[in-house]
Structures are given as structure tokens and as C-alpha cells.
């Protein structure tokens, strides 16, 4: 083969290699608490370059990057300047809930792939606007539900999909804490929009809805209250506010419950708590025509299951109880690493988002429905607009 032809192959092979070893340019929007988990994972990855960071609070992004010893990063006062001035492959949006929709829409409209922290948004309307921007952009939008990477969470879905439960007809889920209101930007309507519902409720909903294939919700009768957050006896102080101040600031839910009808004749019985006079609002149970699954309760489903699960079924007329051992992850990577890696691999390979908006919009519609139903004091129908 003539050398000229061979050198063409060599050249294109080298270009391909260079292209595949190109670092992804990443920005971080919102440099608060959860951004720490994002940067720690990004810093473990060889194919990532953090190029910019934004925070509304002057000096916060700079201090954040300094803490992690990340150099050569440019800093911006909000998501807009960051997106306008950097050629980004992707952004982590780590802002508080009421600032999820606007930066995500802005990033997508400017051709940037987005990893958005949970909950998706505050309202269903916002989620739909985000999905419209996602559709027009053709970019990756993945929502930050790291428990999707947990082997035990995956086991719940595998059990349902194996058919071992038969037809699923009833689910009780939720969880939460006797005391555990997070304060900070989580308790004001202006920043959080929703309380326990958005902070931890979205996780328990994702755990069971993902397992059963995210059927659409039809109706919801919802309830929410704030008896603990607004009471100075139960409110707690933080670095910036006394307990009395936090009780006055508290303008979201600290407890919510709902009865949701899902497509496929499935009932979802849900409750979530940041504070209550009870140790637990109960285990998660999934009832099917062939077997039932019990998943021990936890304060928050943001990682793994609360303990060994139990499968209840009959065998040759004998009532059986089988323990499902906790699976250990030997991958050497944490859930945040996996969530971020999944997002980046979707960008690189042009594959669908690991946690797609088409699923999480259903989670959001239920949360939105609970809020609306609670405000009206009656059951309502849930309609999710087509995007």
C-alpha cells in the first residue's frame, strides 16, 4: 500500500484518538452544599475540565473552587453569564428548587447538556416548559436521582419486572424523620418552593414508580402541613438564624400525605415527613397478586434501601417469607460518581439521559397534584400535557 494512503489512515486514526480524548468542558451553577458532591466526582474523572462556575452570592463560587484546589476556572454572578461566556459541553445545575427551571431552560436553549439536581422543578408547569426546551434542543437532560445507581434499588425493579409479584395493585411508600428539618434555603417558599415533598418525597416516589415503569397518575387527594417547621419549639437554629427566625421563615410543607390513583388500577398511598410525633411513617410495601414486597423504612431514600427486604408469597399452600440480602457494590464508585458518569456517557455516546424527564415529569405531576389538592381540600384529576 502506498505510503500516502497509509498516512491518511494514520492521520484519521490520530484525529479520532484526539477527539475521543478531548475533555468535556463542564460548568457548575450553584456552589452550595450539593455542588460539593458534584465537584468531588468530576475531579475523579480524567475526561472532564471544570471551566466555569456561577453563584448569585458574590465570592461563593471562587471560595468553593479554592476549597477544592481547582485552578483556571472563570467565575460568574449567575447562570446566564456562565452560559453566555463559556463553550460548555455540560452543566451541573445545583441551585435551590425555585432556580431549577430557568437555568435549565437557558442552558438547553444555548445547546448545553444539563444534569439537574432533584426535584425536577417546583411545579408541573415549569417541568413542561423545561421539557419543551429539551425537545427543541435535542440535548441531554438528566435529573439527579443518584439512588438509580444503587444495586438494592435496582433489585426492587428487577423483582417487579421478574413477575414474582404478579400484578401490582397497591403501594404504600414514603418515609421521613421524627425530627429533621434541614433549614437553610430548604424552608422558604422563595427558594425551595416545596418542603419535605421536594426534598425527600420525590425519592420515595421515584423508588416505587421507577420499579413499576412510571404509570401515569389519574387522580390525587393530597394533604400537607407545617405544624413543626412553623413552631419555634420544634424549629432549630442554624449558622445564620435563631430557631424563632427559622420558624418565621418556614413557608413550605414539613409533612405531606396522598392517595394517588395510577393507570393500570394501581393505588399509591404516600406519606413523607421532616418532623412528626412518630418514629417512622411506615415501611414501603408493594402488593401484587402473587407476592408482596416489604422494603424497610428510612429517613430518606437518597441512597439505598432501609435494610433487608422481605418477599411474602405462598408456596404449595405454605406462607413463605424470604429475606433478600443487601447487595454490596464493589465497583469502587459512589452513587454521585455513577450519576455524573451516566450523564457524561450519554453526552459522549449520544445515548438517552440515564434519568429522563419523560419519567420524572410523572413524579413532578404527583407532587404538583398533592400541593393543588391540599390547597383545594379535595381530590383532583391530574393531566400531564404532551410535549
Ligand X SMILES: NC(=O)c1ccc[n+]([C@@H]2O[C@H](COP(=O)([O-])OP(=O)(O)OC[C@H]3O[C@@H](n4cnc5c(N)ncnc54)[C@H](O)[C@@H]3O)[C@@H](O)[C@H]2O)c1
Nearer to ligand X, 287 or 335 (CB): 335
Which position has the grid cell 440535548? 139
Collapse the DSSP code of 359 into the 3-class scheme (helix H, G, I; strand E, B; otherwise coil) and give the result.
Answer: helix
Does residue 185 bind ligand X (CB under 6 A)? yes
Does residue 205 bind ligand X (CB under 6 A)? no
Task: Quote the CA–CA distance of 333 and 179 in Å, as a whole number.
Answer: 31
Does residue 150 bind ligand X (CB under 6 A)? no
Does residue 146 bind ligand X (CB under 6 A)? yes
Does residue 124 bind ligand X (CB under 6 A)? no
Does residue 177 bind ligand X (CB under 6 A)? no
Task: Quote the CA–CA distance of 363 and 369 in Å, as a whole number.
Answer: 10
Task: Quote the CA–CA distance of 159 and 191 in Å, as a whole number.
Answer: 38
Does residue 225 bind ligand X (CB under 6 A)? no
- Cβ distance 192 to 186 under 8 Å? yes
Distances (CA, A) of 387 to 8, 125, 288, 355, 384: 46, 11, 32, 17, 9
Does residue 188 bind ligand X (CB under 6 A)? no
Find, among 131, 114, 98, 101, the residue nearest to 384 by Cα: 131
- 217 bridge partner residues: 262
> Which string of x and - marks every residue 346-385 that binds ligand X (by CB under 6 A)?
----------------------------------------
- Cβ distance 70 to 36 under 8 Å? no
| CB-closest chain residue to ligand X | 32
The CA R_g of the chain, rounded to the nearest whole Å, is 23
Nearer to ligand X, 80 or 157 (CB): 80
Would you tell me how many other CB atoms lie within 10 Å of the CB of residue 312?
Answer: 16
Span near ligand X by CB under 6 A; candidates 28-36, 220-228, 284-292, 357-365: 28-36
Helix 33-42 / helix 335-349 crossing angle, nearest 10 deg: 60
Collapse the DSSP code of 245 into the 3-class scheme (helix H, G, I; strand E, B; otherwise coil) and give the result.
Answer: helix
Q: How far is the CB of 200 from ligand X (least distance, A)?
A: 9
> Which string of x and - marks every residue 307-346 that binds ligand X (by CB under 6 A)?
----------------------------------------
Nearer to ligand X, 33 or 227 (CB): 33
> Which string of x and - marks every residue 284-303 that binds ligand X (by CB under 6 A)?
------------------x-
Does residue 33 bind ligand X (CB under 6 A)? yes
Q: How far is the CB of 191 from ligand X (least distance, A)?
A: 7
Does residue 95 bind ligand X (CB under 6 A)? yes
Q: Between residue 99 and residue 118, which ones bind ligand X under the rule CB under 6 A?
A: 99, 103, 117-118
In the chain, what are the helix, strand and coil shares in percent, each to the nearest 5? 40, 25, 40
Span near ligand X by CB under 6 A; candidates 48-56, 122-130, 242-250, 350-358: 48-56
**H helix runs in the chain, sequence order:** 3-20, 33-42, 60-67, 79-85, 101-109, 124-137, 151-162, 196, 202-211, 243-249, 335-349, 357-376
Span near ligand X by CB under 6 A; candidates 91-99, 270-278, 317-325, 351-359: 91-99
Number of chain residues interacting with ligand X (CB under 6 A):
28
Does residue 55 bind ligand X (CB under 6 A)? yes
Please give the backbone phi and psi of residue 258, each rounded to the nearest 5 degrees, phi first: -160, 155
**CB neighbour list of residue 182: distance below 8 Å, 6 or more residues apart:** 199, 274
- Footprint of ligand X (CB under 6 A): 29-35, 54-57, 60, 78-79, 94-97, 99, 103, 117-118, 144, 146, 184-185, 199, 302
Amino acid at each position: 500500500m502506498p505510503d500516502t494512503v497509509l498516512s491518511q489512515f494514520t492521520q484519521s486514526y490520530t484525529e479520532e484518538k484526539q477527539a475521543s480524548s478531548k475533555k468535556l468542558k463542564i460548568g457548575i451553577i450553584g456552589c452550595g452544599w450539593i455542588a460539593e458532591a458534584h465537584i468531588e466526582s468530576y475531579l475523579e474523572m480524567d475526561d472532564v475540565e471544570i471551566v466555569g462556575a456561577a453563584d448569585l452570592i458574590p465570592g461563593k463560587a471562587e471560595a468553593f473552587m479554592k476549597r477544592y484546589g481547582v485552578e483556571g476556572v472563570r467565575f460568574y454572578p449567575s447562570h446566564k453569564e456562565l452560559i453566555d461566556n463559556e463553550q460548555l459541553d455540560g452543566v451541573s445545575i445545583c441551585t435551590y428548587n425555585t432556580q431549577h427551571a430557568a437555568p435549565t431552560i437557558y442552558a438547553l436553549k444555548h445547546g448545553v447538556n444539563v444534569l439537574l439536581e432533584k426535584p425536577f422543578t417546583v411545579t408541573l408547569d415549569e417541568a413542561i416548559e423545561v421539557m419543551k426546551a429539551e425537545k427543541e434542543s435535542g440535548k441531554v437532560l438528566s435529573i439527579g436521582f443518584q439512588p438509580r445507581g444503587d444495586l438494592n434499588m435496582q433489585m426492587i425493579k428487577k423483582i417487579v419486572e421478574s413477575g414474582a409479584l404478579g400484578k401490582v395493585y397497591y403501594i404504600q411508600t414514603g418515609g421521613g424523620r421524627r425530627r429533621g428539618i434541614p433549614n437553610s434555603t430548604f424552608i422558604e417558599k422563595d427558594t425551595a418552593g416545596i418542603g419535605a415533598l421536594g426534598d425527600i418525597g420525590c425519592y420515595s416516589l421515584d423508588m416505587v414508580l421507577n420499579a413499576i415503569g412510571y404509570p401515569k397518575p389519574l387522580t390525587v387527594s393530597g394533604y400537607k402541613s407545617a405544624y413543626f417547621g412553623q413552631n419555634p419549639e420544634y424549629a432549630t437554629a442554624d449558622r445564620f438564624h435563631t430557631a424563632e427566625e427559622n420558624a418565621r421563615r418556614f413557608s413550605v410543607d414539613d409533612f405531606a400525605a396522598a392517595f394517588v390513583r395510577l393507570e393500570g388500577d394501581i393505588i399509591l398511598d404516600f406519606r413523607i415527613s421532616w418532623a412528626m410525633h412518630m418514629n417512622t411513617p411506615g415501611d414501603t410495601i408493594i402488593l401484587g397478586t402473587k407476592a408482596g414486597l416489604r422494603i424497610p423504612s428510612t429517613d430518606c431514600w437518597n441512597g439505598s434501601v432501609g435494610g433487608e427486604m422481605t418477599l411474602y408469597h405462598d408456596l404449595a399452600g405454605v406462607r413463605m417469607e424470604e429475606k433478600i440480602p443487601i447487595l454490596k457494590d464493589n465497583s469502587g464508585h459512589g452513587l454521585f460518581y455513577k450519576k455524573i458518569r451516566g450523564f457524561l456517557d450519554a453526552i459522549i455516546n449520544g445515548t438517552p439521559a440515564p434519568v429522563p424527564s419523560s419519567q420524572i415529569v410523572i413524579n413532578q405531576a404527583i407532587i404538583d397534584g398533592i400541593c393543588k389538592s391540599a390547597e383545594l381540600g379535595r381530590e383532583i384529576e391530574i393531566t400531564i400535557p404532551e410535549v
